[in-house]
Amino acid sequence: MEKQNLWEVYSEAQLQELERVNTGYRAFLDAGKTERECVVETVKQAKAAGYKNLDDAMKAGKALTAGDKVYAVGMNKTVILFQIGSEPIENGMNILGAHIDSPRMDLKQNPVYEDTGLVYFDTHYYGGIKKYQWVTIPLAIHGVVVKKDGTSQNIIIGEDETDPVFVVTDLLIHLSSKRMDKKAAEVVEGEALDILVGSKPLKGEEKDAVKAGVLKLVKEKYGMEEEDFQSAELEIVPAGKARDCGIDRSMILAYGQDDRVCAYTSLVAMLATKDVKRTACCVLVDKEEIGSVGATGMHSKFFENTVAEIINLTGDYSELKVRRCMANSKMISSDVGAAYDPMYSDVYDKKSSSKMGYGLVIKKHTGARGKSGSNDANAEYIAKLRKIFDDNKVAFQMTEMGKIDAGGGGTIAYILAQFGMEVIDGGVAVLNMHAPWEVASKADVYEATRAYAAFLKDAE
């Protein structure tokens, strides 16, 4: 299949729009390095675009009618936007779904310890990471501490130029002769991923004087006792902003592009969408990287419950309407694809691989070992999407992650498919996915916004 490099086909006006979208994207990445931060930023942008809190509509018992725009937040970690269509909602919605959690290290609940005059925060990694990639890079702490009195405090350390940063140390090469023989999976072990946070003893203190010094500062700056770590969610992420990448500035290097690149482009498409026939929906969820579990993951009833509340406010409620709405919906599970990497060509089937700068990456199936664990999108649905994309001059590529049995992965697609709706995976190609810094093409970021907008407008 001959597909075109998008940089060769964009008009001057499109190239300007591309830069505008990517400037917004970089700002979104900088504002949202955790799922909580992404929810805050999403709500901010949704409100600015006229979206109202669904809770308020529910309390007021206010009916929702065509054109109304509402959002619902679940436990500060997941958010859903709806724009009510002119058609009855039981005819189905057009849904974009992405995830806003990314691989990282989380602080344990008893994290602080001192060893030989150095103080560390103990971590437990989250999601699929190559642990050796997370040593010797500047790290930041992002998260929330909730105290027993219910007050909570947001914490970000390491992003401002004047902030300190943190690091996981690695063994010097000079003493690594044995260690260099270890397998990559074992060369840095999970328990070795502790971040260095201090080395200055508190004067007059006899035992664990450095730890005492660190805890004193934590108390002064954040009003936080050591025991408050028990009810904290502090995430360790690479410190620093998203940057243009390449002499030609054609790419973006940033943390957490899986899957904030699809979350942001879905959000942009959703906020730009007007006057829809079918209700438009954008769901940004947590916990995808650890199996979509828990109250804030896609397996949670939060989505279904929220749809039920929407239906309750749009007319006579019935469970049958909820079921029909779900079954008649169409969805793009917007998640990233593995971009073809010439450095590692042996794991890719070139003709089925995602190429940077060639548009939306459509995956009929994901999974591993013979498509196991995958949603396998139907040919009838793919044909409809091909028509929508061609009619709207949107570039897409039909891809698989890599060679058969080279590995694999999953998304949230199969979870929504359980309602009997048509779902397909479609997102942006990313190089070195799940690494502290990932690469995406600005052209693909822009094209994703166009693809998602076309889908919300024309899918039926």
Site string for Mn ion, 269-288 (x = CB under 5 A): --------------------
**CB-wise, 73 or 263, nearer to Mn ion?**
263
Residue 275 in contact with residue 458, Cβ under 8 Å?
A: no
Q: State both tokens at 259.
A: 């899957």
SS3 content of the chain, % helix, strand, coil (to 5): 35, 25, 40
Distance in Å, CB of 363 to Mn ion, minimum: 11
**CB-wise, 21 or 285, nearer to Mn ion?**
285
Distance in Å, CB of 434 to Mn ion, minimum: 6
As to burial, measured by CB atoms within 10 angstroms (0-12 exposed, 13-18 middle, 19+ buried), residue 12 is: exposed
Which one of 252-260, 266-274, 368-376, 391-399 is the stretch in contact with Mn ion (CB under 5 A)? 252-260
As to burial, measured by CB atoms within 10 angstroms (0-12 exposed, 13-18 middle, 19+ buried), residue 346 is: exposed
Which one of 187-195, 228-236, 257-265, 389-397 is the stretch in contact with Mn ion (CB under 5 A)? 257-265
**CB-wise, 335 or 447, nearer to Mn ion?**
335
Residue 42 in contact with residue 14, Cβ under 8 Å?
A: no
How far apart are the C-alpha atoms of 173 and 177, rounded to whole Å?
Answer: 7
CA-closest candidate to residue 98, choices 417, 332, 301: 332
> CA angle, 421 as apex, 403 and 290 as ends, to 5°?
50
Site string for Mn ion, 151-190 (x = CB under 5 A): ----------------------------------------
**CB-wise, 194 or 258, nearer to Mn ion?**
258
Complete DSSP assignment for 295-357: TTSTTSTHHHHHHHHHHHHHSS--HHHHHHHHHT-EEEE---EEB--GGGGGG--GGGSB-TT
Residue 65 has what DSSP assignment? -
Distance in Å, CB of 182 to Mn ion, minimum: 25
List of residues 6+ apart from 355 with CB closer than 8 A:
3, 339, 340, 397, 429
259 is a site residue for Mn ion (CB under 5 A):
yes
Distance in Å, CB of 339 to Mn ion, minimum: 13
Distance in Å, CB of 152 to Mn ion, minimum: 28
Ranges within 296-335 binding Mn ion (CB under 5 A): 335
Distance in Å, CB of 418 to Mn ion, minimum: 19
Amino acid at 319: E
Distance in Å, CB of 302 to Mn ion, minimum: 19
**CB-wise, 90 or 258, nearer to Mn ion?**
258
**CB-wise, 193 or 262, nearer to Mn ion?**
262
**CB-wise, 147 or 371, nearer to Mn ion?**
371
**CB-wise, 37 or 335, nearer to Mn ion?**
335
Q: State both tokens at 391.
A: 């009619």
Residue 393 in contact with residue 352, Cβ under 8 Å?
A: no
425 is a site residue for Mn ion (CB under 5 A):
no
CA distances from 206 to 135, 226, 229 (A): 31, 18, 23
Q: Considering only residues 68, 258, 422, 444, which one is a binding residue for Mn ion as defined by CB under 5 A? A: 258
**CB-wise, 105 or 197, nearer to Mn ion?**
105
Distance in Å, CB of 185 to Mn ion, minimum: 18
Distance in Å, CB of 21 to Mn ion, minimum: 20
41 is a site residue for Mn ion (CB under 5 A):
no
Q: Please work out the total of residues on this chain that contact Mn ion, with binding judged by CB under 5 A.
A: 3
Label residue 370 left, alpha or beta by phi (over 0 means left) and psi (-120 to 50 means alpha). Answer: left
Distance in Å, CB of 204 to Mn ion, minimum: 48
447 is a site residue for Mn ion (CB under 5 A):
no
Amino acid at 411: T
Q: State both tokens at 94.
A: 């057009």
- For Mn ion, the binding residues (CB under 5 A) are 258-259, 335
